[in-house]
Amino acid sequence: MIVRKLKYISIIFISLISISACNLAGSDESSEAAANVAPQVGDQVPNNLVCMVNDAYMGIPQLEVSYEGKIYYGCCEMCQERIPKEKEARIAVDPYTLKDVDKADAYIVLVGDQGQVAYFENERSYKELMAKSDLAKERNQRNQHP
């Protein structure tokens, strides 16, 4: 009976050590993952990671499309074909100034949980909008309470 209990205790002890070792080994990976955190709503995103036809942050480099000396990005061959043909694929409206913005030159910000982006004339335009919006308050609260 005592031998049987010792056997079970030994198995539990070995299992706990194994689990702990796995968690310690994964801590380096989780540190690396934390360093490569996906952008949050309100963050600027690199132009080359955005499909400018779908207005969506894709998280990976997109296909380059040169048009009139500027570089645009699309996620597929269809998007590559649409960019030179359709002005709507190259031009957006700055939500603050309401001016047309060339997507190739825009300051692009993630605005939705599903990857939706908005295009701004520049960083100042974005910051002025944020200063006047509730989104700024929410973002500040989120940053204060990680």
Q: How confident is the model at residue 140 (pLDDT cuts 50, 70, 90)?
A: low
Exposure string for 48-64, b = 16+ CB within 10 A, e = fewer: ebbbbbbbbbbeeebee
> By C-alpha distance, which of 35, 37, 33, 40 is closest to 113?
40
User: How far is Cα 56 from Cα 53, in angstroms, rounded to an integer?
Assistant: 8
Q: How confident is the model at residue 36 (pLDDT cuts 50, 70, 90)?
A: low
pLDDT tens column, 66-101: 999 999 999 999 999 999 999 999 999 999 999 999
User: How far is Cα 33 from Cα 12, in angstroms, rounded to an integer?
Assistant: 31
Tokens of 100: 């047309």
Tokens of 119: 């295009």
Reduced to 3 states (helix: H, G, I; strand: E, B; else coil), residue 73 is strand
Query: Per DSSP, which regions of 24-69 are E strands?
Result: 50-51, 56-57, 63-67
Is-above-0.75 flag for pTM? no
Given its phi and psi angles, is residue 69 left (phi above 0), alpha (psi -120 to 50 degrees) or beta?
left
Contact between 118 and 56 under an 8 Å Cβ cutoff? The reply is: no
